Amino acid sequence: MKHLIDKLEQTGALSREEWTALIRGRTPELAEYLFERARTVRHKYYGHDVYIRGLIEFTNYCKNDCYYCGIRKSNRSARRYRLDNEAVLDCCHKGYGLGFRTFVLQGGEDGRYTDEIMADIVQSIRQHFPDCAITLSLGERSRESYQLLFDAGADRYLLRHETFDAAHYRRLHPQSLSAAHRQQCLWDLKEIGYQTGTGFMVGSPFQTPENLASDMLFIKELDPQMVGIGPFIPHHETPFAEYAAGTLELTLFMLGLLRLMLPKVLLPATTALGTIAPDGREKGILAGANVVMPNLSPVEVRGDYLLYDNKICTGDEAAECRKCLERRMESIGYQIAVSRGDSLNTAALSRSLSAAVAPE
Ligand code: SAM
Ligand code: FES
């Protein structure tokens, strides 16, 4: 199988059959070889820098009912909250002082945040923090809405495609949602000029190596600036409460493959990875990841944005998380960078990079 890893490194592409064979046939030795190659590529482009993104989970209301997600609308025991413009700005101020130059606004699909309200929030962050990148992760919206928020000053958008395969997608979501629509949103975002991020859960119920092969082919075609992957972790109040979590082993393997397929991609070692293993994020970095996304949400609401059980860092102040991650990264020979941390994959980009001006 080593020859497939060599081929991937040399050409950045594999056929569907090769992806499936590689994922199905992986071994611990092969994984070590892959990680070593992935680190070499990562060091070539990004050195030993790890970029940080301040995650602001601004609403846990959601109109959707994804079978895996703890904030799905049918979860009546979730304590719901919303942050207003002022509270979001407050998180950004704290984050800025801690060295964050990217803010990620993530939330459930909450109708209360109309285009007007959302644009207002984006504009005020843009005004107060001209040298920072604004990333949105608000789920599926209309193309007009994406355009409006881009015009208001957002630079990046994260929307995991979750799984490319339509039949697999159907088993994870209710009828009202479709793989095709989600993918169309990603093409729209890219066309508008966002630095776009996609991704998928590893080990979601019913997932096969063939499904993962389809995910890799789709990501190759989309050629995004960011790819967020993390293990599926069950939440006790969802239909998937009894399903097994995705494994550390497979998540790391997929991270390594993504780094070789898209050498310049921004690849987070996610909170979910840190949740299934105490050193999951460190291992993620050593498999090729180059981003971590500590939480900037106010401590009062942290424990309410629970997509899955046993989520880490729900009681920690942003400053503690920041310090903790710094220590963790240093322990493996990496350092946190105070910068926007834009992707080097700028081929398809318009405004955002040239407009990134540092303050006097
Ligand atoms: N509403 C936005 C969206 O749809 O993209 C952003 C919030 S959504 C909760 C963010 C991501 O959380 C999803 O894309 C999904 O991959 C992940 N997620 C949800 N439930 C999860 C679970 N049980 N385990 C792991 N990841 C989960
Ligand atoms: Fe949050 Fe370690 S990253 S406490």
Is residue 232 in contact with ligand 1, taking CB distance under 6 Å?
Answer: yes
CB of 335 closer than 8 Å to CB of 358 = no
Task: Identify the pLDDT of residue 356.
Answer: 44
- Determine whether 316 is exposed, middle or buried from the number of CB atoms within 10 Å of its CB (0-12, 13-18, 19+): middle
Looking at residue 113, its pLDDT comes to 98
Distance 137 CA to ligand 1 centre (A): 10
Q: How far is the CA of 200 from the centre of ligand 1 (A)?
A: 9
Ligand 1 centroid – CA 89 distance (Å): 23
Rounded mean pLDDT, 56-81? 98
**Quick one: pLDDT at residue 359?**
37
Cβ atoms within 10 A of the Cβ of 288, count? 28
> Encoding tokens for residue 337?
């960078």
Q: Give yes or no for residue 233 CB within 6 A of ligand 1.
A: yes
What's the pLDDT at 316?
Answer: 81
Q: Is 325 in the pocket of ligand 2 (CB under 6 A)?
A: yes
Least confident of 63-77, 120-134, 294-308, 332-346: 332-346
| Atom 4, ligand 1: residue with shortest CA distance | 139
pLDDT tens digits along 21-30: 999 999 999 9
pLDDT score, position 354: 46
Ligand 2 proximity of 293 Cβ (cutoff 6 Å)? no
pLDDT of amino acid 349: 59
Residue 319 — very low, low, confident or very high, per pLDDT cuts 50/70/90? Answer: confident
Residue 129, helix vs strand vs coil: coil
3-state SS of the chain: helix, strand, coil percent to 5? 45, 15, 40
- Please name the residue ranges forming H helices in 153-247: 166-172, 179-192, 209-222
Q: Which atom of ligand 1 is nearest to the CA of 200?
A: 16
Structure tokens at 282: 């460190």
CA pair distance 358, 130, nearest whole angstrom: 7
CA 228–ligand 1 middle distance (angstroms): 10
Span 315-323, average pLDDT: 87
Q: What is the pLDDT of residue 341?
A: 87
> How confident is the model over 136-151, as pLDDT tens digits?
999 999 999 999 999 9
C-alpha 30/C-alpha 51 separation (Å) is 28
Q: What's the pTM value of the predicted model, to 2 decimals?
A: 0.95
* Cβ neighbour number for residue 98 with a 10 Å cutoff: 18
* Cα–Cα distance measured from residue 248 to residue 145, given in angstroms and rounded to the nearest whole number: 36
Using the mean position of ligand 2's atoms as its centre, give its distance from the Cα of residue 248 in Å: 18
Q: Is the pLDDT of residue 72 over 90?
A: yes
Cβ of 324 less than 6 Å from ligand 2: yes
What one-character DSSP code corresponds to residue 277?
S
- Ligand 1 atom with the smallest distance to the CA of 108 is 1
Confidence check: pLDDT of 350 > 80: no
Q: How far apart are alpha carbons 234 and 306 in whole angstroms?
A: 11
Q: Which two tokens stand for residue 25?
A: 């046939």
pLDDT in tens, 205-232: 999 999 999 999 999 999 999 999 999 9
Q: Do the beta carbons of residue 220 and residue 193 sit within 8 Å?
A: no
Residue 202 near residue 272 (C-beta atoms within 8 A):
no
In this prediction, residue 338 carries a pLDDT of: 86
Angstrom distance (rounded) from CA 336 to CA 327: 9
Question: If you measure from the C-alpha of residue 323 to the centroid of ligand 2, how many angstroms do you get, rounded to a whole number?
Answer: 8
**Mean pLDDT score of the chain:** 95
Confidence of residue 346 (pLDDT cuts 50, 70, 90): low
Q: What is the pLDDT of residues 265-286, one digit of tens each?
A: 999 999 999 999 999 999 999 9
Cα–Cα distance measured from residue 266 to residue 342, given in angstroms and rounded to the nearest whole number = 8
Residue 357 has pLDDT above 70, yes or no: no
Q: What is the pLDDT of residues 176-194, one digit of tens each?
A: 999 999 999 999 999 999 9
Does the structure show a pLDDT above 60 at 358?
A: no
pLDDT digits (tens, 9 = 90+) for 228-266: 999 999 999 999 999 999 999 999 999 999 999 999 999
pLDDT band (50, 70, 90) for residue 347: low
68 CB within 6 A, ligand 1: yes
Backbone angles phi, psi at 318, to 5 degrees: -55, -40
Angle between helices 248-261 and 16-24 (to 10 degrees): 150
